[in-house]
Amino acid sequence: MTEKEKLTEGLLYDPMDRMLLEQRQQCKEHCHAYNQLSPSRLWERSRLLELIVGTCKGEATIEQPFYCDYGYNIHLGKNFYSNHHLVILDAAPVYFGDNVFVGPSCGFYTSGHPLEYEQRARGLEYALPIVVEDNVWIGGGVHVVPGVRIGKGSVIGAGSVVTKDIAPYSIAVGNPCRVIGSVPSNEPRHG
């Protein structure tokens, strides 16, 4: 079994595998080019973003700078927007639904490390997917860990660390992030 196959299966894998290193390096070159473009060169930014991410269902804006590991595991829904300093460690897939808005300095981290120190010392890690469903608003400085799903229509408060799934139409905040209420019923509930 290759290291990439182990990664895909959610097993411990060696991220220093030559093929994985080459894929990360290529993606980092594309991110570097993206981050160097003038903000006014919108068409070029859009074309390069399409080259970086795996899929993009419609209009997407990611303000610079933007960093990711592989890119091809990032899937953007329609009308995706992220403010500055977005980091996506996409060893596993990261799915963003339609109408997702992400504040500045947010991170989505699919990679984790074993608790057992000998495995960790060998450099092994694992990766689990992250899913952000439709119509989610994520405040600035939010960090999302491996294996989390954020339900549709939810709002995640600024500075939160999301370590567990968030039910649809929830308002959640804190470290660790916890549900403190629900989106008011008079709000539109599309999707």
- Give catalytic status of residue 113 as yes or no: yes
Element (H, E) at 171: strand 170-173
| CA separation, residue 95 to residues 24, 115, 129, 186 (Å) | 19, 26, 8, 27
The single residue of 84, 113, 143, 190 carrying the catalytic annotation is 113
Of the candidates 64, 88, 182, the residue with the CA atom closest to the CA atom of residue 144: 88
Provide φ and ψ at 88, rounded to 5°.
-125, 110
Q: Which amino acid belongs to residue 122?
A: R
Give catalytic residue positions. 113
